[in-house]
Amino acid sequence: MISFTYLEPTSIDEALDLLARYGDEAKLIAGGTGLVNLMKQRLVQPTYLIGLRRILGLSEVQHNGDLQIGALCTHRTIETSALVRTHAPLLTETFQQVASVRIRTVATVGGALAHADPNQDPPPALLVLDARVCLRSQQRDREVALSDFFTGYYETIMEPDELITTVVIPPQPTGSGSAFLKFLPQTHDDYATVAVAARVTLDGDRIIDARVALGAAATTPVRATTVESALRGETPTPIVLREAAALVAETVDPTADFRGSAAYKRDIAVVFVQRALARAVERARKE
């Protein structure tokens, strides 16, 4: 492990001051489940680590029309939150499937998004819920749609002097059902071969809106907009869902690795999109 100076601010303003002062020499750390691994591999070698754990006000889940999740909320906090279960049950379903309880107790939602590993589980679920990310620097506050947040492998639109403060989930449309599914080739601690989140909104027995997103399917989390477009206005019969799901093969661009070839991952993506859509439709019908 490389040597570094560890700094522990107690406020957002103090953390931003340290970021501005040390620039590219500094890295933010919360749970550390992603950054520490990169440091061990010497892919990242910061001179200063700015720990965020002592900052108050970023570890809460609140609801004031929107569901607001503080950036320092752990995966376990989100998994067990009654507010999340009420207003965004898809997140409960998703976060309870991330790795192990040990990891979920440490890893934070803000850290996961900033890390921008496309194989993570939460981003697809957050994408289909139309999540927004609140960013702050000394110069400005801004709110960015998560669909615009990821730009490449381990890359986001965040500036070096910014940190994530909150993840915002808007109210979900009436008549909506959602689902999260993933295919795990080995243990629960491993990344998925493919992960899929879906949200379907029904008016009677007709789909009026749909969201589909995938993880571990490209260099960023992917919104399957062609699938969504094919579903709108349709009755969700098994044939309609199967034909729409088939379109995802043209959307994803998976990387071959020990979890499977690119062609295999495309096939798995089609199967799991169809399954997630079917489950989301079933839940929407119960609303």
Which pLDDT tens digit goes with each residue over 74-96?
999 999 999 999 999 999 999 99
- Percent of the chain at pLDDT above 90? 91
Mean pLDDT value across residues 45-50:
95
Task: Give residue 124's pLDDT.
Answer: 98
Tell me the pTM: 0.96
Task: Round the average pLDDT of the chain to a whole number and report it.
Answer: 96
Distance set, CA 106 to CA 68, 77, 111, 222, 272 (Å): 19, 10, 10, 26, 29
Mean pLDDT value across residues 46-66:
96
Closest CA to 247 of 264, 223, 230: 230
Q: Which helix (H) or strand (E) holds 143?
A: strand 141-145
Distance set, CA 124 to CA 4, 46, 119, 212, 256 (Å): 34, 29, 10, 8, 20
Q: Does 287 have pLDDT greater than 90?
A: no
Task: Give residue 188's pLDDT.
Answer: 72
Mean pLDDT value across residues 152-157:
97
- Percent of the chain at pLDDT above 70? 100
The residue type at 259:
R
Binning pLDDT at 50, 70 and 90, where does residue 40 land? Answer: confident
Task: Give residue 1's pLDDT.
Answer: 56
User: Three-state DSSP class for 183?
Assistant: strand
